Structure 1
C-alpha cells in the first residue's frame, strides 16, 4: 500500500486556514484526502510522500504538452522581466490574436479572458445583447463553469431533473438565486427533435444555444452523425446563436478543436485550458458582427489579468509546438491514445469486466456497463459508478492517476513506453478488482 502520511498531515493543516482545505471543490475528489504534489514533469506527478503518478488528469486538461514543457517554461521565464500586467495592450496580444484567427474555424475576431467560466459569461452576454433576447438554452450534463448563470442541470439527480423530453432546470449549488432558472432552458442532448421542440416552446426567446460539442463532462460522449450540423441549422431557423464551449476540446482533439474535427462552425466559441499549455488563459472567438457588440452596444467585459504577459508568451510557445510539421504532434498523441483505449478494452475483456472505453484518443472515458454506449447524460448516469470508483482506487495504488469519474486526458508526453507502463498497471488494478 502507498503511504500518504504527508498529504494527510498537510491537508489537516490547510483546513485550518483554507476553506475546506482546497482552492476548488473539484479537488476534494482524491483518496484518502486531496493529495499534495511537489512537482510535475512530463507525464508524471510526484507527491509530497514520494509517490510517483502517471498523470491522466493533467490539471483537468490544460497540460496538453505534459507538465513543465521546457519550451513553454523558457518562454514564460524570458517574459518575466518584461512585467506582468499593464492595464494596456502589448504586442504579444496582437500577435496571438492574429494567429488564433488564422487557426480557429470562424474566428474572425477574439477577446481574451482568464478562465473558462469568465469566457462563458462573456459569450452569453454577447448573445443576449446581439439578439435582444434573454434566455440561454443548455443541455443536461454539460458543464460551462460554476457561475450562477451556467451551473444549471450539470449533474442533476434524475428525480429532480423532470421528464427526458422537457427537463426542469436544476440549480447546481446552494446560494444560487432561483431567478436565474427563469433565463435558462434545459434540453436533452444528441436529439434534434428534442431541441426543435424546446425552441418551439420558447419561440423568439432563446438568445443562444450553448453546448460542449463533445459531451466531455458527461462521459466523453461524441455527437451523433449530423447532430452538430442540425443544431447549427435549428439555431439559424430560430434566430439564436450557436455557442460551442471548447474549453476542453479546443487545442486538444485537434489544432482547430472539435469544430475542425467535425467540420461545423459555430457563431461564438469559448476556449481555455490547453490553449496556453497550463497557464491561465481563455478567450471567446467568433463572428465579427457579434463580437462588435462589445464596442457598438457597449457590452461590458473586463478583467485585470486578461491578456497578461506570461499567458500570452505561454500560448505562443505552445502553438509553436502544436503547429510544427503540420500538427505532427497530434498524430503521435492520437496513436498513443488509441493504443491505450484499445489496450484497456482488451484488459476489461480479459478480466471479465463489463467495461466500455468511449471517446477520442486525446480524451476518453472508462465506463462500467453492459449496456450500449451512452448517448446523453441520462444514459451515462445509468452506468456503474461504484465500479468506477473501485477502478480509480486500484489504479492509484498502481501509480496511475485518473479522474474519479473515469475521464482520461492524454498529453504529448504520454509516449509508447508510458502507455505500456499504464496498461501493465491497469492489468494489475483489474486483477485486484476481480479478487475483491
Structure 2
C-alpha cells in the first residue's frame, strides 16, 4: 500500500501553482480543498480509479461529491448524451425537457410539476421562493448542520433554543458552522431564517405553536449526511409532516444528496413521507450540472401563473435533460440492479470498517445510508443531530481518519460512496487502508 504523503507530486503541484495564477485560490470550490493541502488534478480515469499527473493511483470513494453514480465511463449513458448532441448543443426548448420531467415524475410519485435549475443551491433558493409565494408567509425553518447551498439567507448561521432566528456568528467547536461562515453576506440576510435541531420534535412543536402563522416552509435533508449521516428517528418525519399540514407550512425535502441514491423514488419511497416540494441535483444528472425543484400542483401554481419568477438561460439545457433521461432509465433497469449493487458494496464497506475498528479498539459507528456511509468515532450507539455530534463525536480523530485515508489513496469527503464502476476489490482496498489507519489511532485511545 502506497502512502501518498511520502510521495512527491511534482507535476500535480506545478499545475496547482499554475492554476493559482488564473483561478481564484487555484481550485473550483472552497469545499474541495483542505488547508495546507494542494488539490489533486486528475490526468486520467480507469474504472473507479483516477490517476494524477505524477501517475499516482487513487480509489475514488468521493465520486465528485455524489453525482458520478454511474461512474465515468458508462457507454449507454454516453449514448443518451451523444444522441442529443447530434441534434445541436444550444439551450433550445425541445422534447427532451418533457421527457426528463416525465422521467422524474415516473420515479418520484408525489411530484406533479417540476422546473429545472443548474445546481442544488439554486433549486433550494427557488423552492423557498415558491413556498413563500404559496403561503404568503416569510420565515424559513432549517436545521443545525443541514447544508442547502451557498446563498446568503440559508448558509450556516446559528441560533439558541430561546431565540431560533438565525444570526451570522461562529460557534466555537462547531466545524460545520465554521465552514459555512462567510464575509460578504448581507447584514440582514439571515433575519428571515430560523434554526432548530434535527430529530427534536418537541422543539418544532413549540416553535410552530408560537410562530406557525409566520413560517412559510421547513427545509430539511431527510438524511443530513454532512452531520455524520444522522438518520431521522422513528416517527420524526411523520411528525414534521403533520405539523406542516396543520399550520399551512410547506415541507421541502432537499434531496440533493439522497435523491436517486437512497432509492429511485427518493426519501418519499424510502420513508413513506411525502413533502410538498422536492429539490434534486448531484446524482440526477450523472455528472452533468443540472437540478430540479418541483412538487404538488397547487404549490407550484405561482410559477404556472407567472407570479413567482423562475427564469434563466441554461435551465433544462438539452444535454442536461438527456442526462436525466439516461440516468433514470439506466437506474430503473433490471429491477434497480445498479442501486442494489451500490447498496451491497456500501454495506460491505461499512461492515469492514466496523470489523477493523473493533479489532483495534476504536469506538466506531457507521451512519448514513449504503450509497453514502459515514464512519463516526464515538462511544454512542448513534448520533441524532448537530448538538449531539458536537458533544459526543471525536472530530479531531474523525478528520485524522479521513485525511490519512486520502493519503493512502482512498479519496473521500469524510463520507464514502460507491458507483456502478466499483468492485469488491476496490472495497477491500479501502478496508485494508482503514485497518492501517485504525492501527495508527490506537496511540490516541
* Equivalent residue, structure 1, for 2:255: 246
* Equivalent residue, structure 1, for 2:430: 422
**CA distance in structure 1 between the partners assigned to 2:405 and 2:163 by the alignment:** 39
Q: Which runs of 5+ in 2 are unaligned?
A: 1-5, 169-180
* Equivalent residue, structure 1, for 2:173: none
Deviation of 1:284 (Å) = 0.8
Alignment of 1:7-18 (within 5 A): 7-18=12-23
**CA distance in structure 2 between the partners assigned to 1:223 and 1:399 by the alignment:** 32
**CA distance in structure 2 between the partners assigned to 1:335 and 1:216 by the alignment:** 19
On the 8 A contact 1:120/1:270 being kept in 2, the answer is yes
Change beyond 3 A, Cα 1:133–1:167? closer
**CA distance in structure 1 between the partners assigned to 2:243 and 2:256 by the alignment:** 23
Give SS of 1:105's match: coil
* Equivalent residue, structure 1, for 2:324: 315
**CA distance in structure 1 between the partners assigned to 2:153 and 2:183 by the alignment:** 13
Deviations 1:345-371 (A, max 9, x none): 010011111222112111111111223
* Equivalent residue, structure 1, for 2:268: 259
- What is the RMSD of the two structures over their aligned residues, measured on CA atoms? 1.7
Deviation of 1:68 (Å) = 2.9
Give SS of 1:220's match: coil
Moved more, 112-121 or 9-18: 9-18
**CA distance in structure 2 between the partners assigned to 1:185 and 1:244 by the alignment:** 17
On the 8 A contact 1:270/1:282 being kept in 2, the answer is yes
**CA distance in structure 1 between the partners assigned to 2:162 and 2:71 by the alignment:** 41
* Equivalent residue, structure 2, for 1:115: 119
**CA distance in structure 1 between the partners assigned to 2:349 and 2:417 by the alignment:** 11
TM-score after normalising by structure 1: 0.93
Aligned residues: 426
Give SS of 2:416's match: strand
Alignment of 1:239-388 (within 5 A): 239-382=248-391, 383-388=393-398
Moved more, 4-13 or 190-199: 4-13
Q: Which residue among 119, 128, 132 is the counterpart of 1:128? A: 132
**CA distance in structure 1 between the partners assigned to 2:167 and 2:420 by the alignment:** 38
- 1:397 paired with 2:407, answer yes
Moved more, 333-342 or 416-425: 416-425
Deviations 1:46-89 (A, max 9, x none): 21221111111111111111223222223223322322233x41
Give SS of 1:332's match: helix
Q: Which residue among 45, 64, 68 is the counterpart of 2:50? A: 45
Change beyond 3 A, Cα 1:168–1:332? same
Deviations 1:320-353 (A, max 9, x none): 2100012122222111111110110010011111
Deviations 1:194-232 (A, max 9, x none): 111122232311111010011112111110011111101
On the 8 A contact 1:41/1:66 being kept in 2, the answer is no
Change beyond 3 A, Cα 1:299–1:163? closer
- 1:100 paired with 2:104, answer yes
Moved more, 35-44 or 357-366: 35-44
**CA distance in structure 1 between the partners assigned to 2:340 and 2:76 by the alignment:** 20
Alignment of 1:51-66 (within 5 A): 51-66=56-71
Deviation of 1:107 (Å) = 0.7
TM-score after normalising by structure 2: 0.91
Deviations 1:398-428 (A, max 9, x none): 221111xx21122122222221222122222
Deviation of 1:30 (Å) = 7.1
